Amino acid sequence: MKTILVLCTGNSARSQMAQGYLQHFAQERAEVYSAGTNPKGVNPLAVQVMAEDGIAISGHTSNHVDEYAYLRFDYVITVCDNAREQCPVYPASVQRIHESFPDPDSPESFRLVRDQIKAFCRQFVDQKLV
């Protein structure tokens, strides 16, 4: 089983949505975590738009990246430029992947970003977790 960390700044929307989709698509092939460099709490709009697509993230928590320092990850995926710049150093064996998504600020933008993240996550799982 692979371990994946999705990292953004606030761990409130983009990384939460990515965690939901990655776990959904990967099923038992991966254990997925999300964290932020400055966590702000899970955004209710992220919960809402994910529920609209059948993915429940209402039980997710907003965590600081340091909370997972003890874990060994196969992949660290940064989903915003700020997180990529502040990402902790990981061993060379960790594959770092960066895909920047816009920071949503309205219900419509949350849906747009959700769909972009969904496509990215599906492709990631299809290519990396075969």
Place of tokens 């959700």: 114
Give the model confidence (pLDDT) of 24-66 as tens digits.
999 999 999 999 999 999 999 999 999 999 999 999 999 999 9
* Alpha-carbon span 74 to 118, nearest angstrom: 20
CA distances from 2 to 28, 33, 126 (A): 9, 11, 13
Give the model confidence (pLDDT) of 67-123 as tens digits.
998 899 999 999 987 766 666 656 567 899 999 999 999 999 999 999 999 999 999
Domains of the chain: 2-128 (3.40.50.2300)
- Residues marked as catalytic: 8, 80, 87
pTM recorded for the entire structure: 0.94
